[in-house]
Amino acid sequence: MRRRFHLPDGVIYLDGNSLGPLPVAAAERVRRTIEDEWGQLLIRGWNTGADGEGWMGWPTRLGDRIGRLIGAPEGSVVVGDTLSIKVFQVLDAALKMRPDRRVILSDSGNFPTDLYMAEGLIATLGQGHELRVVAPEDVATAIDEAVAVTLLTQVDYRTGRMHDMAALTALAHDHGALAIWDLAHSAGAHEVDVTAANADFAIGCTYKYLNAGPGAPAFVHVRPDLQDRIAPALSGWLGHAAPFAFDPSYRPGPGIERMRVGTPPVLQLAALDAALDIWDDVDMPALRARSLELSGRFFDGVSELCPSLMPASPADQTCGSQVSFRHDQGYAVMQALIARGVIGDFRAPDILRFGFTPLFIGESEVDAAVSHLAQVLTTREWDQPQFLARKAVT
């Protein structure tokens, strides 16, 4: 699998949980889309691409390919827009389905954009809704009959701590609430089964473990029995039942099609299509087992050689495909490590975060990364002006 990615020489890449590396096939696939389809077919590409399939059908076709990775049935996932847009869509849909309730329940480990979008939607609706944020370990006890919807990210972006999707969804349903799951740090990292968990909605991005490139579009899953009950707030023209009838009023499209909003980002979808080819040959249980082996090896190595770091991740299998440690100069430590060619990232206020993608990371890279980190800390290599100065992206 490593041969199917472009990885720069001399780099140990432990940040695929934030931006996946370039699949070798993606560059050629995008080139073909630009030159053979856009270049030669022009606007005809919407109906008939180089392979006979028009661009207009890509969001649902690629949605089905992602669906296989998250346990979603065919026709229940569509790709397009950004993750923030998808949060807004599904949260609004869920609140409309529980008009007698006013509480959105989330946790303090959720990715901030999910909380920001909830705050913005509450202000827009002006109906007295409340965003209730509790500690991750308190979610289960906070679900009651006032909750309209739970808005949770399965894997904590900072620590890697993992929620039990099936258990919390069942608890939400027992109390009459709906469940939204953000799979941004789950899809492509480990086994996910939204059908078995009976999740109402799921959303996620494609530029992390799915390796579709910076800014690649998001996906949204809606449980099949709920799809035709949704009244989309973002009623874009491609979610219309007949976009090219150019009706003056909106009529929602059938099923998952109504969750489309704007024009598909064709070049990004081409990269995603190539990236998903890799997953056709991946056994997800084997991937998960190997991920746990590698992350456990890193955790044990750092715990032994880097006593100044405090673990931020669970030391057991309740963790996603990442490991995090705390250090009061975490940003500078990570910058010094990156300068050595070991790329992870930093999350405020003090977390060094390392992702483990077995498709292109092995034991030798793990051991080398531990050694480099130990040297950076032992020699205080991080304590230099170029490493202490904050950049725009951490």
State the catalytic residues: 111, 182, 207-208, 353
Q: Do the Cβ atoms of 141 and 172 come closer than 8 Å?
A: no
Query: Quick one: three-class SS letters along the chain?
Result: CHHHEECCCCCEECCCCCCCCEEHHHHHHHHHHHHHHHHHHHHHHHCCCCCCCCHHHHHHHHHHHHHHHHCCCCCCEEECCCHHHHHHHHHHHHHHHCCCCCEEEEECCCCHHHHHHHHHHHHHHCCCCEEEEECHHHHHHHCCCCEEEEEEECECCCCCEECCHHHHHHHHHHCCCEEEEECCCCECCECCCHHHHCCCEEEEECCCCCCCCCCCCEEEEECHHHHHHCCCCCCCHHHECCHHHCCCCCCECCHHHHHCCCCCCHHHHHHHHHHHHHHCCCCHHHHHHHHHHHHHHHHHHHHHHCCCCEECCCCCCCECCEEEEECCCHHHHHHHHHHCCEECEEECCCEEEEECCCCCCCHHHHHHHHHHHHHHHHCCCCCCHHHHCCCCCC
Q: Do the Cβ atoms of 69 and 219 come closer than 8 Å?
A: no
Burial (CB count within 10 angstroms: exposed 0-12, middle 13-18, buried 19+), residue 390:
exposed
Burial (CB count within 10 angstroms: exposed 0-12, middle 13-18, buried 19+), residue 24:
middle
Q: Is the peptide bond before 349 cis (omega within 30 degrees of 0)?
A: yes
Half-sphere exposure (Cβ direction) of 177: Cα atoms closer than 13 Å: 26
Cα distance between residue 336 and residue 292, in whole Å:
26
Cα distance between residue 345 and residue 329, in whole Å:
13
